[in-house]
Amino acid sequence: MRIGIIADIHGNIDALDAVLAALDRMQVDEVVNLGDSFSGPLDAAAVAERLLPLNLPSVRGNTTAH
């Protein structure tokens, strides 16, 4: 089983899209989110729209408020 890990996106939708595309090319079986996805000055709403439908196993990051 190939597991991809994402973390510390901090609202950076462009970086998230690049990483998700790379994980798709690598044909990982599962992706786990280690948190800190939405905090930061960038586009948290776009990141949420992209990540939430994926229903990834996730943990809270050190800057995750909720």
Question: The domain containing residue 23 runs over which residues?
Answer: 3-53
Residue 36 domain flag: yes
12-28 pLDDT per residue, tens: 999 999 999 999 999 99
Residue 64 domain flag: no
pLDDT by 10s per residue, the chain, length 66: 999 999 999 999 999 999 999 999 999 999 999 999 998 889 999 999 999 999 999 998 887 665
- Backbone CA torsion sign across 49, 50, 51, 54: positive
Residue 26 has what pLDDT? 98
Residue 40 has what pLDDT? 85
Residue 47 domain flag: yes
Residue 62 has what pLDDT? 82
Task: Mark residue 11 as left, alpha or beta (left: phi above 0; alpha: psi -120 to 50; beta: remaining).
Answer: left
Residue 32 domain flag: yes
How far is Cα 7 from Cα 12, in angstroms, rounded to an integer? 11
Token pair recorded at residue 44: 């948290």
Number of domains in the chain: 1
- pTM equals 0.87
Residue 65 domain flag: no
Residue 61 domain flag: no
